[in-house]
Amino acid sequence: MTRIPAIALRGMTILPGMIAHFDISRDKSIKAVEAAMNDNQHIFLVTQRDAEVDNPKIADLFEVGIVAEIKQVIKLQNNIVRVLAEGQSRGKLTAFGECDEFLLAEIEELEDVVENLPETALSAMSKSIRDNFARYAKLHGKIAPDAVKHTHSFTDLTKLINYVSNTLPVGYADKQHILEANSLGERYEVLLALMFREMDVMAIQKDFQDKVKQRVDKNQKDYILREQMNVIREELGEVNTQSDADGYLEALEKLEASEEVKERIKKEILRFKNIHSNSSESNVSRGYIETLLEMPWDKMSEDNNDLDHAQEVLDADHYGLEKVKERMLEFLAVRNLTSKGESPIICLVGPPGTGKTSIARSVARALNKEYVRICLGGVRDEAEIRGHRRTYVGAMPGRIVNGLRSAGVKNPLMLLDEIDKVSSDYKGDTSAALLEVLDSEQNSKFRDHYVEIPVDLSEVLFIATANEMQNIPKPLLDRMEIIEVSSYMENEKFHIAKEHLIPKQLEKNGIQPEQLTISDKALIKMIRSYTKEAGVRGLERKLGEICRKTAREIYQNKKEKIRVTDANLAKFLGKEKYSQEEKNENDEIGVVRGLAWTSVGGTTLEIEVNIMPGKGEVKLTGKMGDVMKESAMAGISYIRSISPEYHIDKDFFSEHDIHIHIPEGAVPKDGPSAGITMATAVLSAVIKQPVKADVAMTGEITLRGRVLPIGGLKEKLLAAKNADMKTVCVPAKNEKDLHEISEEIKKGLEIVLVEKLDQVLEIALVK
């Protein structure tokens, strides 16, 4: 019994006479090498049964190992040691000695069992090994010819077996079998069996390769891997004879569709079955069949008919927008009563950022419908809607059919976004293609050029969005029910930010609610001084900016809580960008405050008029549009007609020039609502009578002094309220619009309904 330092090898076995190097990194292995080098440089190398085990016990190791002499030790980077050792004699591991620093093996040296073999037998065994090794080397192709020649230099069978065993490129488990053989004859049998087995494997592999070469054309290299798999399956008897066409027929059986549709698809599948698989027509037909099988011909989802649930979802997702919510609940109620109900085409019209797209998503969630969004902005080609004809290369279905296919049901909610931005060119009129989609009388049999089979769109709930109603083509507009989503007022923006935007941005930026507090005054200041918009997109961006700065303070400066107030808001967002429009402090001559509608909400326009000696010319500045210029001329004509009532000299207008100017001259201005404002300013300048600073007005004027109705009344009143006006002159014909405006906006404003300019002058001019 001998005690000797030991190393457990992973994935390799060293045989007698073999010189090999291996890397070690375990502390116990390194200390075992150091102990061996300090003694007689002998070490016991034994292979692990499982290479993944880090701290092997005696049961994790093979019993038989090799006593080797360490020839060289090299220290590498990362605490890795490379050892060069030569195998000398076999040994049997019986136990481990008591040593915590390294493996101290108790081994029993194994002597080869002596066999009295005749010389002829030894010679025959040597010849057999040489011949088979030569055959093996020839089949393998990567063993050097010198290695085969070198076998003839051995006269001793033991050394020959050791040399061939070490040269064979086989795994450690096979070499372990050779190492464990106790006699020369047994070792000979193991080695010979191993070579026979390896040669059989290589012969089978070569046979596979020969079969593949016979099947594969020289120009079809891409098919090599598939053909190899086919050959292997044939040898194993696992060939799948079901073709793609059979798979399509099985899918057709499970498809929910009418018999007419199934018959059309079946006809196409049978046609596909007879097409050669390598032809280009095969791929076209395959794509067409797969599209038809993926279509939800008769598959429908079940709607949620609970009105209370729908109202809860809509109220939770959006603040305000009462008309939109009411209309959607009405639609659901009608659908519940009639069991089906004709799906209306609803068009939400309003400025950007007012939540039109998110309303559609909330409606889909409330009704438990699949949601599909189709963006029509910039779509010019009619084929985008109707699809391409299959005769074209790269043909595909239109966006409507693709939307149905992705939804997986025939009754989704389909959002047609930016419908006012569709256009037309030489490829066809996109808006005309949408007519069939949105017409409830026609869309039950919508024909897509690619699909060709009529598709039922009558179950689809269409919701369209647009920024401006006048840009929607008239035939399309006629087929839709318009719901205006107007600008948010300050109070609504405050509630939206508080209830929706702040929690959303906190979650998006990884901030806990207790870590950031934004005061109400800071929020109002952000709305007034840092954003100027109809919706809340800019406000959300500003809140995101605060959250990002807060995240950095929390992460980098380890702050636990940050409070944003109106006093320190500039630290987060910089200086204020917009100043609040206020009324003039004093009553002035020729200066009147008008009201205007813009894409970002209402605003006030200060119109100034100067009278100068001249030749009766009228100058209009401030980048006014044609409509506004005509309003100014009509107003001046009316004032000239009533000049005797105000004791104006009859030659006044021929001897003086009138200059009308609207400040912010670089900003284009147009619209039919500034007539009475300009007329009042002109008369004030002519008769030198001041206009009240707290009076604002809106309305178009005629040559007879009548006041015509205007649009955007809610936004205009909101602008007047924000500018701290006390009195607003509104056309009498807009009285019906006042009933739809909330009391919150009208509170604090004296709204006067006027029919003629005389009434406006009575209210506005200082007596």
542-566: buried (b, 16+ CB within 10 Å) or exposed (e) per residue?
bbeebbebbbebbeeeeeeebebee
d(Cα 287, Cα 489) in Å, to the nearest integer?
Answer: 52
Q: Is 716 a catalytic residue?
A: yes
Tokens 């591991």 locate to 93
In whole angstroms, give the CA distance from residue 60 to residue 280: 60
| DSSP calls for 243-255 | -HHHHHHHHHHH-
Q: How far apart are CA 471 and CA 534, in angstroms?
A: 19
C-beta of residue 635 within 8 angstroms of C-beta of residue 682: yes
DSSP state of 79: T
Q: Which helix (H) or strand (E) holds 179?
A: helix 172-180
* Residue in 126, 285, 487, 673 annotated catalytic: 673
Nearby residues of 530 by Cβ (< 8 Å), 6 or more positions away: 538, 542, 573, 576, 577, 578
Please give the Cα distance from 417 to 355 (Å, whole number).
12
Token couple for 683: 């008369």
Q: Are 755 and 706 in contact (CB under 8 A)?
A: yes
CB 44 within 8 A of CB 107: yes
Cα-based torsion angle of the residue sequence 163, 164, 168, 172 in order, rounded to the nearest 10 degrees: -60
Instruction: Indicate the length of the chain as a whole number.
Output: 767
Letter string b/e over residues 604-642, b meaning 16 or more CB atoms within 10 A of that residue's CB: bbbbbbebeeeeeeeebebebeeebeebbebbbebbeee
Q: Which of 369, 410, 493, 716 is catalytic?
A: 716
Q: What is the edge-to-edge ordering of all strands in the sheet holding 461-466?
A: 371-375, 413-417, 461-466, 346-349, 481-484
In Å, what is the CA distance from 452 to each residue of 54, 261, 416, 455, 476? 66, 11, 23, 9, 24
128 is catalytic: no
Positions marked catalytic: 673, 716
